[in-house]
Structure 1
Amino acid sequence: MRRTVRTGAARRRQGRILTGAGLVLLPWLGYLAGTLPPAEAAAWVTLDALEAVCLLTAGTRLLRADARYRAPAAAAAVLLLADACIDMATAAPGTELATATAMAVGAELPLAGLCALLAARSAKASFAAN
């Protein structure tokens, strides 16, 4: 049974952030598929596609005030953290490592933190606070 609750401005903003991040990943998937060797592309496109699905699901559920946003938010947090760790571990020194660091600090880790925060809060308390 779907439980609907009232949402406030903060939850709408968080929903927009997650949905926007998921949408930004869609053209990125095409870029990865077109520029990486096939074996690497398959792995990275799969990981980033899973991230996009989780972000879009959590974000749209927040926007609809659907209390079932927590599981996809938790999955997105884990996937984003793994993505940042793998990027940093596999990057070559120099420009590649600087790019991986910038993506981790500027996008992946903050999004993972937001998703983890959303997943950890109870849906009832989360929506009631707004």
Structure 2
Amino acid sequence: MTLVAPRVPSRRTPRLATVLTGAGVALVPWMLVLAKTLPQTAEVSNWSTAWIGLDAVLAAGLGGTGLLMRRHDPRASPLAAATAALLAMDAWFDVTTSAPGAARAAALTLAVCAELPLAAACATVAARRTGRL
């Protein structure tokens, strides 16, 4: 068994923590502004490019996580965490941007049966490999 000494936080950590916390708090009123000012619908340029790009990043994240896990590479953990977040985001945007009816049903099915279970699996990989689970 190897004992690892706990990391001593640098002096910059509290400052960075304050900045990040402040940024999170500052987003709350910004979300209220967006809720009141953004239109309900919009025409978007490069829509297919955006979704294909996201799916390409997801493919790289999932494939890369699997490959790194096979090699017992510790970099699997942060890649799995990032991929989990992107999968959850993908599910959210798929469902919330889909048209009512069959498109929404397909987006919900994909979210429940694929994206969110994969996100949970990636989050579990990240937590286990960091010793948090």
Same fold? TM cut 0.5: yes
Question: Aligned equivalents of 2:132 and 2:54: distance in 1?
Answer: 31
Structure 2 runs not aligned, ≥5 long: 1-43
Q: What TM-score do the two structures reach when normalised by structure 1?
A: 0.63
Match runs of 1:64-83 below 5 Å: 64-83=71-90
* Residue correspondence of structure 1 range 1-130 to structure 2 within 5 A: 39-123=46-130
- Opposite residue 72 of structure 1, the aligned amino acid is L
Aligned position for 2:13: none
CA offsets, 1:4-63, max 9 Å, x none? Answer: xxxxxxxxxxxxxxxxxxxxxxxxxxxxxxxxx971111001111111111111100111
Higher helix proportion (structure 1 or 2):
1
Q: Do the aligned partners of 2:62 and 2:80 also contact (CA within 8 Å) in 1?
A: yes
Higher relative contact order (CA 8 A, sep 6+): 1
Distance across 2 between alignment mates of 1:98 and 1:74: 27
User: CA distance change for structure 1 residues 82 and 124 in 2, over 3 Å: closer, same or farther?
Assistant: closer
The alignment-based identity, stated in percent, is: 43
Greater C-alpha Rg:
2
CA contact 2:74–2:129 (8 Å) conserved in 1: no
What count of residue pairs does the alignment treat as equivalent?
90
